[in-house]
Every structure is written in structure tokens, then in C-alpha cells.
Amino acid sequence: MNIFEWSFLSGVLTATAPVLLAALGGLLCQVAGVFNIALEGQLLWGAFTAVVVSDATGSAWAGVAGAIIATVLFSGLLSGASVRLKADPIVVAVGLNLLALGLTAFLMRQIFGSGGTYSSPDLAGLPTLAELGLDIPVLGPQSPLVPLALLLVVAMAWWLTRTRSGLRLRGAGQHLEAAEAVGLPVAAYRHGVTLAAGALCGLAGAQLSLGNVTLFSEGMSAGRGWIAVVAVMLSSVLPYRLLLACLLFGVAEAFGFRLQGAGLPQQAADAAPYVITLVALVLAAVWRRRSHEHA
């Protein structure tokens, strides 16, 4: 097996994209001082609503738009409860993750008539770049949302450091009283980033259910939202480092997939991304401590 094959790199990008999009939302929240662990539920909700809208309209792009709108609305529950009503964001997020799991499974049965996995010829998947006339290695088999995710990393890095609103957002997340003292509308920022994270999770979900595959299955987010949370923790709120963390996960998933092809049990492939993410977390934390002690 040659891990430098184009197809492997392509597989890495495919696995990375949904996590990266969700993690960008988490990063935005982190910058503004919001600990958002509802990414998992939002990702799942986004994947589901994308499939519902695409199935109903026959248009994948309508599915993407529907997922964005529906997930922004869903994240409104988080911003309403935790920012407006000041409820414990962790507890609210735990509830919302559960709610998303229940709602998608329930509505799936109501709308499509059965549980498990839904796919249909009516369901339009996102086109690949190759189909759109851009037949280049690695990116060719990807949906347009994949390069979009990469562009968003660059855009966010630029925005946070080079613009007025980016500076204010960073300030609002660093020191609440300081932000209030200079008149920054911190609550508005927190609502804003929570909703923006919803939009990004909508995109992430659409990529998962209409890009990576063209189907919806119960609980298909499968922990990717939690991996995104960890990626944010690993990133020190720097977008390029976030990309690296997400790529690490993508490599793990693509590698696990290969292992499975090579005859290893599916459970090993399932576990690989988590184990690698955990190891990365430990190494990063240990390294951070080391560098502190020797600085």
C-alpha cells in the first residue's frame, strides 16, 4: 500500500472536510469565548436536513442551503439558552446533541418511512469538481465544498488578524470586562458566532451526507463533531493549526479505511480516528507543558 497515492490523499481530504467545517465553527466560538460542544448534534442535524431538502427538491444545492438555514435555526436554541438566558452552555449542548439524535431518527421515520439508512435515486448528491470540468488530481473527486473549506481556513486567518471586526471578536473572547469597558457588544458577538457555527455545521453536514456519500443514516456524524471540538482545543485558536489537527483526523480515517481493505476488522478502523486524536491531544498537552518548563 502506498500512502502517497493520489487516491489516498483524496480520501484524506474527503474525511477531513466535514470535520474541518464544523471545527471552523467551533474555532469561531472559541475566539469569542464560547465553549461550543453542540457541534456533534448540529453536524448531524445539518446532514439530515440537507438530505431532506435535496430529496424533496432534487437539487443538491437547495439541500446545502436548507441545511445551512435549518442548522442556523437549531443553533439559535443554543445561543438563546446559553447566551440570552445564560444557561450552562455545557448542559445545554448535551441536551441539544441528544435532541438532534432523537429528532433526526424520529423525523427520518416520519418522512422517509423507515429507520437505519435512507438513500434514493431522487436524492441529488453534490457534483464533484471533475464533473464541473475541473479534473485535477486530489481535488477532482471532491465536492466544491471541500476547496471551500480550505479557502475558509485562509479567510478566517486573514479576517481574525487583519480586520476591525476580527480584532474586536478576539478581544471579546479574551477578557469580558475589558470588552465591556471599551463598549464592545459582547452578547451580540456571542450570538453571532454561535449562529455562524450553526451555518458552518450545516455546510459540514451537507458535505457529509451529500458530498462524502449520498445518503443519510442514523447517527452518521459518528463523533465527528467531538473530534472537531478536540481539533479546536489543539489549535490554540489559530486557523492553520486547526487545519493541521483536522488533517490528522482525516489521515487517521482514511488510513483506517485502508486497513479495513487490507483485512483488518472494521472495529479497528472505527477506533483509529479516536485513538489517534487522543494520542495527539496527549502529545500536544505534554509538549505544551515541556516547552513551558524549558522556556
Partner 1 sequence: MTAPALARRVVASAPVVAVVGALALTTLVMLVVGVDPTLAYPALVRGAIFDGNLEYTIAAFVPTLGMALAFALPLRAGEFNLGGDGQLAIGGVTAAALALLVPLPPVVAVVLPLVAGALAGGLVAAIAAPFSTRLRIPAIVSTLLISAPAVSLASYLVRFPLAEPNTGIAQTPTLPDASHLPFMGGSGYVTIGLPLIVVLTGLWLHIDGRTVTGYEIRATGQNREFARYGGVKVDRVAALALAGGGAFAGLAGALIVLGPPYRFVDGALTAPGYTFTAVAAVLLASARPLAIPVAVALLTVLQVGGLGMEREAGVPSQLTQIVQGLIIVIVAVLATVRARRGVRG
Partner 2 sequence: MTDLAAELIGVSKRFGPVLANDGIDLAVARGEVHAVVGENGAGKSTLMSILYGLHRPDAGEIRRDGQRITLRSPADAIRHGLGMVHQRFRLFPDLTVAENIVIGAEPVRRGHLDRAAAHRAVAALSEKYGLRADPSALVRGLPVGVRQRVEILRALYRDAEILILDEPTAVLTPGETDRLFEVLRTVAATGVSILLVTHKLSEVMAVGDRVTVLRQGRVTGRFTTRETNANELVNAMIGRSLTPPAPKRAQPPQENPVLEVRDLTIHDADGVARLSEVSLSVHPGEIVGLAGVAGSGQRELIDSVTGLRGAVPGVFLAGTPVLSGRDPRVAYVPEDRHGRATAPGMSVAENILMGAQRELGSRWSLPRAAVKKRAKDLVERFSISAASVDIPISALSGGNAQKAVLARELTRPSHVVVAEEPTQGVDVGVRERVHALLLAARDEGAAILLQSSELSELRELADRILVLYEGRVVAEFQGDAHETDIGRAMTGATE
Rounded to whole angstroms, the maximal C-alpha distance in the chain is 61
Q: Distance between terminal CA atoms of the chain?
A: 41
x/- binding map, residues 76-115, to partner 1, per CB under 8 A? -x---xx--xxxx-xxx-xxxxxxxxxx-xxx-xx----x
Name the 3-class secondary structure at 216. strand
Instruction: Find the binding residues for partner 1 in span 252-291 (CB under 8 A).
Output: 265, 267-268, 270-271, 274-275, 277-278, 281-282, 285-286, 289
Total residues interacting with partner 1, rule: CB under 8 A: 46
Cell 471551500 belongs to 148
164 belongs to the binding site for partner 1 (CB under 8 A): no
CB 189 within 8 A of CB 168: yes
119 contacts 109 by C-beta, under 8 angstroms: no
Compare residues 262 and 295 and give the one whose CB is closer to partner 2. 295
Mask for 113-152, x = binds partner 2 (CB under 8 A): ----------------------------------------
Q: Kindly state whether residue 293 participates in binding partner 2, applying the rule CB under 8 A.
A: yes
Q: How many Cα atoms are found within 13 Å in the side-chain-facing hemisphere of 152?
A: 24
Nearest alpha carbon to residue 77 among 220, 207, 201, 237: 201
Distance, CA of 82 to CA of 107 (rounded, Å): 26
CA distance 123 to 214: 7
Q: Phi-psi bin for 219: left (phi > 0), alpha (psi -120 to 50), beta?
A: left
90 binds partner 2 (CB under 8 A): no
Site for partner 2 in 150-189 (CB under 8 A): 162-164, 166-168, 170-171, 174-175, 177-185
Interface ranges with partner 1 (CB under 8 A): 37, 77, 81-82, 85-88, 90-92, 94-103, 105-107, 109-110, 115, 223, 226, 229-230, 233, 265, 267-268, 270-271, 274-275, 277-278, 281-282, 285-286, 289
Interface ranges with partner 2 (CB under 8 A): 162-164, 166-168, 170-171, 174-175, 177-185, 292-293, 295
